[in-house]
Amino acid sequence: MSYLQRVSQHRIAPPALNGGETAADLIDTAFLSYNAGRLREVCQVFTRKLLEPDCTVGLTISGALTPAGLGMSCLIPLLRAGFVDWVVSTGANLYHDTHFALGLPLHQSRPNLDDFALRENDIIRIYDIVFDYSTLLDTDAFYRELIQSEAFARSMGTAEFHYEVGRYLHARATTLGQPSNSLLAAAFETGVPIYTSSPGDSSIGMNLAALALQEGNLKIDPLRDVNETAAIVYQAKRAGGKSGVLILGGGSPKNFILQTEPQIQEVLGLEESGHDYFLQVTDARPDTGGLSGATASEAMTWGKVDPDRLPDSVTCYTDSTIALPLLTAYALARHAPRPLKRLYDQREAGYDALRGEYLKRQAEGAKPDLSARKRSQA
């Protein structure tokens, strides 16, 4: 076999397009090279490997995806199909998701509007999305009233907070006899825990901060989230399964989902080797620091990705608003729905198991063990 044959996957000889192709067919046959090729690999690895029954799939969401309607068109179908088991999102995406649940409209527009005129007319702009300033005020009022209820009068992690919000939004939609159109409500319905890595960095967090000035009883515990997310990954791997991550964009959610492995290995000193599958859609670059530490190969050096699994790690440099609808259409066309894992219902048991393993090692005076890392690189 020649060296060309060893490095070649397929000869480039695609069929001519005829206009009747499905999105999945187009990706398989015409997305051959450059970032189109990487997007094809993301779709194929996600569908053929992450969606195997033994893989627990974590998703990160950054950038303004829900205002563009991608929560309704893509994220909710992925959750309901059992294709996403847990989520790390910016608070902003969940805040804007709530507009749709409350029937507060957002509109398509153009990116080159007169922002001074928009300001004078109380119109908010997110690039080419516009909506009335009252949408923010009404959503703020919703959260301020909701968090005064008894369900929120305690300390909780962000997954529990979002679950209670989703419970209300789901019940509201059911009472009104209409779709909730909400990622939060869908997560409640499917038992998918949603975490926010920076809970104070959004309008939801700002309204929670206002409640704190009134000495309310709600306290968000971000350290609980660190251990809960580590427990999700640890329990998935300890049960003989795999862990896969799909990263849309970057920011804090990207690091938060990846730091689960260093938390397990480096900090808690428990034996682990890294996420099995790493798929990333980003427009950032490693050489400017925007992607530093989070390419698959760099993440491997931190223990975030299993080095034996690097061939199943793909980074596609493109816009998430382009990639996500194509990935969703591809996965729904190529894979049957999976049974829901309902990881939210397993939070307490997973947390207690992780805590028990850690305390056991502490009592034994054990130090962090690097042997698993070294064995996996041998």
Inform me whether the pLDDT recorded for 373 exceeds 80.
no
Residue 43 to residue 324: CA distance in whole angstroms = 10
**pLDDT of res. 300:** 62
Q: Is 60 left (phi over 0), alpha (psi -120 to 50) or beta?
A: beta
Q: What is the mean pLDDT of residues 58-87?
A: 97
Where is mean pLDDT largest: 240-254, 290-304, 322-336, 354-368? 322-336
Least confident of 28-37, 194-203, 223-232, 280-289: 280-289
pTM above 0.85, yes or no: yes
In CATH terms, 23-377 corresponds, of 3.30.9.10, 3.40.910.10, 3.40.50.920, 3.40.50.2300, to: 3.40.910.10
**Residue with tokens 């063990």, as numbered in its chain:** 369
Q: What is the mean pLDDT of residues 118-132?
A: 96
Catalytic positions are 304
**pLDDT of res. 217:** 92
Among 138, 145, 153, 167, smallest CA distance to 218 is for 153
Tens of pLDDT, residue by residue over 233-290, are 999 999 999 999 999 998 899 999 999 999 999 999 998 888 899 999 998 877 777 7
Tokens coding 289: 């620091």
Q: Where are the domains of the chain?
A: 23-377
The helices-and-strands tally (H runs, E runs) of the chain is 18, 11
Confidence of residue 371 (pLDDT cuts 50, 70, 90): low
**pLDDT of res. 378:** 35
- For the CA atoms of 87, 90, 95, 99, the dihedral, rounded to the nearest 10 degrees, stands at -70
Inform me whether the pLDDT recorded for 103 exceeds 50.
yes
Q: What is the mean pLDDT of residues 352-371?
A: 83
**pLDDT of res. 284:** 82
Tokens coding 241: 């399964």
Confidence of residue 311 (pLDDT cuts 50, 70, 90): low
List, as one string, the DSSP characters of 277-290: EEEEEE---GGGTT
Inform me whether the pLDDT recorded for 4 exceeds 90.
no
Residue 101 to residue 175: CA distance in whole angstroms = 13
Helix or strand holding residue 337 (H, E): none
**pLDDT of res. 375:** 41
Tens of pLDDT, residue by residue over 168-202, are 999 999 999 999 999 999 999 999 999 999 999 99
Average pLDDT over all residues of the chain:
91
